[in-house]
Amino acid sequence: MRETLAEWRPLVDEAIADLVPREIDAEYLERFFGGPTYEYDPDGIQRALADPLWELLDRGGKRWRAVLFLVFIEGFGEDPAEYLRYACIPEILHNGTIIVDDVEDEAAKRRGEPALHHIYGQDIALNAGNAMYFLPLKILTQSRTDLPADQRLAAYEMLMDELNRTHLGQGMDIHWHNERDVQITPEQYLEMCACKTGCLGRIVARLAAILTDQPPEVERAVATYAELTAVAFQIGDDILDVENSLGRAGEFGKEFGNDVREGKKTLLVIYALAESDPETAERLREILALDENTDEEVLEALSILEDAGSIDYARERALELAAEARAAIDGLEFDDETDRKLREFTEFVIERDV
Amino acid sequence: MRETLAEWRPLVDEAIADLVPREIDAEYLERFFGGPTYEYDPDGIQRALADPLWELLDRGGKRWRAVLFLVFIEGFGEDPAEYLRYACIPEILHNGTIIVDDVEDEAAKRRGEPALHHIYGQDIALNAGNAMYFLPLKILTQSRTDLPADQRLAAYEMLMDELNRTHLGQGMDIHWHNERDVQITPEQYLEMCACKTGCLGRIVARLAAILTDQPPEVERAVATYAELTAVAFQIGDDILDVENSLGRAGEFGKEFGNDVREGKKTLLVIYALAESDPETAERLREILALDENTDEEVLEALSILEDAGSIDYARERALELAAEARAAIDGLEFDDETDRKLREFTEFVIERDV
């Protein structure tokens, strides 16, 4: 395995470019999608698929879903370089969900630049995002010669399983955004994360297990590891948003208190609503429900979270989840190198500061 | 088979209700999507999935994709009543694309009432539409006991094939909408229809063939039939929009000249651009490119289409396609009843007046 994880990034991008070239022509379309009945319009597909996809990928992203997949592949004793094509599956899926989520959330920015629907129009952005849900699934069909039928079927059934639950998670999250007085338990919040974020992690792990023909208990173990790591990552995100905002409370900027402005019902909010006195809880609910917030209101909400002990509570839950994630793969016989890398992933998700 | 096709509609709706009940509870979620890691929020899923889905289905629709599937099943010698569950696959997919298309097109209305994103918000509507892309695919996994592995795999690979090309078609269509001076050949227009509309028809036919274990040449034949019928249907739609608008040119209403107002590059437009003198063609291009059109402009564009002979040309192409569709299944040994029903489908698509 390459020494540092970052070394895989350009190779992953090369593999993605084999699947969706930067320049689309009729020959590629025929090869990848099958011959047309009449005549394709390569220029149209260029603009509707390749341009938005590469615009997003070229802005950055760590490709960590692809890298985690390759770590598993090596842990299972196979050569990661031969599985680069499959590493693109979760990566393209993930970037597709980003484009669609940004439309759903009416996001202005993505990775520091205008969200894709602001550049290409909502119609092109959405269709490109949706195309990126199905395009990677075709990779399995195209691997007929390498991949036995039972593995292809297992991969498809796994993907349908997880992609269904992804949409349940997103549905719960959106519904909670939209409703002021919705009651959410911490367990429901964790489930939303497990579905929305965790399922893509599960895809990474289960795909690696299926393609290297691991027994079911190994597939389950790595899926649990990836799911819990992803949930811990999401909670880490929620904590960071509050901590960074409190840390630079003096310099009100656009990035200040994003989650409060969006009215997100994070684990920190759920905890504070349950732990604060009724009046304070009602005030928090009120601020979150407002369409626009002043900086003072945002700061007030952040203080309510802090005073309720939400940050400590959330950090404790995230640490527990990371520990559970590591415990899930304890019984597996990975080499030391793989063990170290997988441990690093669970540490990164709660110790990072950006 | 039930005497009239319409008799199947309530049975199809019952089968859909088995897959997505009108009232969501935790027991259903566990059964259909698998147990949660923590705890589902049934109210959230109710609002994010079941409500939008049933709102759309209850507004009408002929369920003709499901019915055509059942016609094939009976033609292949099986009992349609036992395949109702699978008939839901193309039907739910189709309704999912409607919700997403309406967001992409910024449609105001659907089946005479506000488009779903105007009722539920764009975020919920989109996520519901996308969920309806994956939900029906899970039906195959859930049919493990009835359906041998090779049929499930063939169905998945077929679906990935067709759903990828669906998004190519939609991408071309959107791109052409957005670009004023795009050059499109009639063959590219037919390809767009073959991808965007035809692929869902192909899913109907190929799924019936796969689930009843037909040989490849039979699957290809019914797929061609369904694809060409769908393309003819699309052209029939384009003709109807122009004919109805010209027929009631006196009573300008919202429904008058929709395609012109949207700037759609239909087969009629492509033909008129090629056949008219340069000045007239430029004027047509100009009217289509305007964000808003006066009724006079719409009427002018419609007249250009008529004067160029676009209506006759398009009708001829649609009739050819319908004839090709019938010819594609000529060699198959369907009973007379099935033959009659399949012939009726191809006649309906070009002879209907609504």
pLDDT in tens, A95-109: 999 999 999 999 999
| B41: exposed, middle or buried (Cβ count in 10 Å: 0-12, 13-18, 19+) | buried
Beta-carbon contacts below 8 Å between A and B: 221
Q: Tens of pLDDT along B163-201?
A: 999 999 999 999 998 888 888 999 999 999 999 999 999
Q: What gap in Å lies between CA A194 and CA A230, rounded to an integer? A: 7
Q: Find the CB nearest B172 among A41, A153, A165.
A: A41
- Tell me: pLDDT of B252 over 50: no
**Three-state SS string across chain A, please?**
CCCCHHHHHHHHHHHHHHHCCCCCCHHHHHHHHCCCCCCCCHHHHHHHHHHHHHHHHCCCCCCHHHHHHHHHHHHCCCCHHHHHHHHHHHHHHHHHHHHHHHHHCCCCEECCEECHHHHHCHHHHHHHHHHHHHCCCHHHHCCCCCCCHHHHHHHHHHHHHHHHHHHHHHHHHHHHHHCCCCCCCHHHHHHHHHHHHHHHHHHHHHHHHHHCCCCHHHHHHHHHHHHHHHHHHHHHHHHHHHHHHHHCCCCCCCCCCHHHHHCCCCHHHHHHHHHCCHHHHHHHHHHHHCCCCCHHHHHHHHHHHHHCCHHHHHHHHHHHHHHHHHHHCCCCCCCHHHHHHHHHHHHHHHHCCC
Confidence of residue B290 (pLDDT cuts 50, 70, 90): very high
**Three-state SS string across chain B, please?**
CCCCHHHHHHHHHHHHHHHCCCCCCHHHHHHHHCCCCCCCCHHHHHHHHHHHHHHHHCCCCCCHHHHHHHHHHHHCCCCHHHHHHHHHHHHHHHHHHHHHHHHHCCCCEECCEECHHHHHCHHHHHHHHHHHHHCCCHHHHCCCCCCCHHHHHHHHHHHHHHHHHHHHHHHHHHHHHHCCCCCCCHHHHHHHHHHHHHHHHHHHHHHHHHHCCCCHHHHHHHHHHHHHHHHHHHHHHHHHHHHHHHHCCCCCCCCCCHHHHHCCCCHHHHHHHHHCCHHHHHHHHHHHHCCCCCHHHHHHHHHHHHHCCHHHHHHHHHHHHHHHHHHHCCCCCCCHHHHHHHHHHHHHHHHCCC
For the ranges A212-221, B258-267, B270-279, the lowest mean pLDDT is seen at: B258-267
Rounded to an integer, the average pLDDT of A9-22 is 96
Chain A neighbors of B126, CB-CB under 8 A: 100, 103-104, 126
Per-residue model confidence (pLDDT) at position A252: 47
Residue B79 φ/ψ region, left for φ over 0, alpha for ψ in the -120 to 50 degree band, beta for the rest: beta
Q: Which two tokens stand for residue B288?
A: 């289509």
Residue B41 φ/ψ region, left for φ over 0, alpha for ψ in the -120 to 50 degree band, beta for the rest: beta
Please report, rounded to a whole number, the percentage of residues in chain A having pLDDT higher than 90: 81
Integer CA distances (angstroms), B86 to A161, B66, B92, B221, in order: 17, 8, 10, 20
* A37 to B138: CB separation less than 8 angstroms, yes or no: no
- Tell me: pLDDT of B250 over 50: no
CB of B40 closer than 8 Å to CB of B24: no
Per-residue model confidence (pLDDT) at position A345: 87
Rounded to an integer, the average pLDDT of B326-337 is 94
Q: What gap in Å lies between CA B223 and CA B216, rounded to an integer? A: 10
Backbone φ, ψ for residue A351 (5° rounding)? -105, -10
Q: Which two tokens stand for residue A315?
A: 């950090």
Chain A neighbors of B104, CB-CB under 8 A: 122-123, 126-127
Look at the alpha carbons of A146, A151, A157, A159 in this order and tell me if their dihedral is positive or negative: negative
Residue A109 CB neighbour total at 10 angstroms? 12
Distance from CA of B73 to the nearest CA of A (A): 24
Confidence of residue B348 (pLDDT cuts 50, 70, 90): confident
Q: Could you say which residues from 285 to 304 on chain A have a Cβ atom under 8 Å away from some Cβ of chain B?
A: none
ipTM for the complex shown = 0.94
Strands A109-110, A113-114: pairing is antiparallel
Q: Which amino acid is at B51?
A: D
- The chain-wide mean pLDDT, for chain B, equals 93
Q: Tens of pLDDT along A29-60?
A: 999 999 999 999 999 999 999 999 999 999 98
CB of B39 closer than 8 Å to CB of A192: no
Q: Could you say which residues from 66 to 105 on chain A have a Cβ atom under 8 Å away from some Cβ of chain B?
A: 100, 103-105
Q: What gap in Å lies between CA B148 and CA A163, rounded to an integer? A: 23
Q: Tens of pLDDT along A156-169?
A: 999 999 999 999 99
Confidence of residue A235 (pLDDT cuts 50, 70, 90): very high
Provide the angle, in degrees to the nearest 10, between the axes of the packed helices B149-178 and A26-33.
Answer: 150
Taking alpha carbons only, the member of A346, A354, A240 closest to residue A302 is A240
Taking alpha carbons only, the member of B347, B338, B345, B352 closest to residue B65 is B345
CB of B95 closer than 8 Å to CB of B132: yes
- The chain-wide mean pLDDT, for chain A, equals 93
Chain B neighbors of A104, CB-CB under 8 A: 122-123, 126-127
Q: Tens of pLDDT along B123-143?
A: 999 999 999 999 999 999 887
Look at the alpha carbons of B210, B211, B213, B218 in this order and tell me if their dihedral is positive or negative: negative
CB of B190 closer than 8 Å to CB of B218: no
- Tell me: pLDDT of A255 over 80: no
Per-residue model confidence (pLDDT) at position A320: 96
Q: Which two tokens stand for residue A114?
A: 């205008």
Q: What gap in Å lies between CA A47 and CA B50, rounded to an integer? A: 34
Domains and CATH numbers, chain B: 1-146 (1.10.600.10), 148-354 (1.10.600.10)
Per-residue model confidence (pLDDT) at position A248: 53
Q: Residue A311: CB partners within 8 Å, gap ≥ 6?
A: A239, A242, A243, A268, A305
Strands B113-114, B109-110: pairing is antiparallel
Distance from CA of A39 to the nearest CA of B (A): 5
Q: Find the CB nearest A174 among B34, B48, B184.
A: B48
Q: What gap in Å lies between CA A8 and CA B318, rounded to an integer? A: 52
Q: Tens of pLDDT along A260-294?
A: 988 899 999 999 999 999 999 999 999 999 989 99
Rounded to an integer, the average pLDDT of A5-24 is 93
Q: What gap in Å lies between CA B150 and CA B160, rounded to an integer? A: 15
Q: What gap in Å lies between CA A46 and CA A25, rounded to an integer? A: 8
Per-residue model confidence (pLDDT) at position B352: 66
Nearest CA in chain B to A190: B38
Q: What gap in Å lies between CA A226 and CA A68, rounded to an integer? A: 9
* B40 to A128: CB separation less than 8 angstroms, yes or no: no
Q: Could you say which residues from 20 to 39 on chain B have a Cβ atom under 8 Å away from some Cβ of chain A?
A: 29, 33-34, 36-39
Q: What gap in Å lies between CA A324 and CA A313, rounded to an integer? A: 17
Chain B neighbors of A170, CB-CB under 8 A: 48, 127
- Tell me: pLDDT of A1 over 70: no
For the ranges B43-47, B119-123, B256-260, the lowest mean pLDDT is seen at: B256-260
Q: Tens of pLDDT along B3-15?
A: 567 789 999 999 9
Q: Could you say which residues from 115 to 144 on chain B have a Cβ atom under 8 Å away from some Cβ of chain A?
A: 121-124, 126-128, 130-131, 133-135, 137-138, 140-141
Residue B182 CB neighbour total at 10 angstroms? 17
- Tell me: pLDDT of B244 over 60: yes
- Tell me: pLDDT of B347 over 90: no
Q: Find the CB nearest A137 among B127, B138, B160.
A: B160
* A34 to B161: CB separation less than 8 angstroms, yes or no: yes
Q: What gap in Å lies between CA A261 and CA A202, rounded to an integer? A: 30
Taking alpha carbons only, the member of A244, A254, A233 closest to residue A302 is A244
Per-residue model confidence (pLDDT) at position A302: 95
Please report, rounded to a whole number, the percentage of residues in chain B having pLDDT higher than 90: 81
Q: Tens of pLDDT along A167-198?
A: 999 999 999 988 888 889 999 999 999 999 99
What are the beta bridge partners of residue B109?
B114
Per-residue model confidence (pLDDT) at position A258: 86
Per-residue model confidence (pLDDT) at position A353: 59
Confidence of residue B248 (pLDDT cuts 50, 70, 90): low
Q: Could you say which residues from 156 to 215 on chain B have a Cβ atom under 8 Å away from some Cβ of chain A?
A: 156-157, 160-161, 163-165, 167-168, 170-172, 174-178, 182, 184-185, 187-188, 190-192, 194, 198
Per-residue model confidence (pLDDT) at position B249: 43
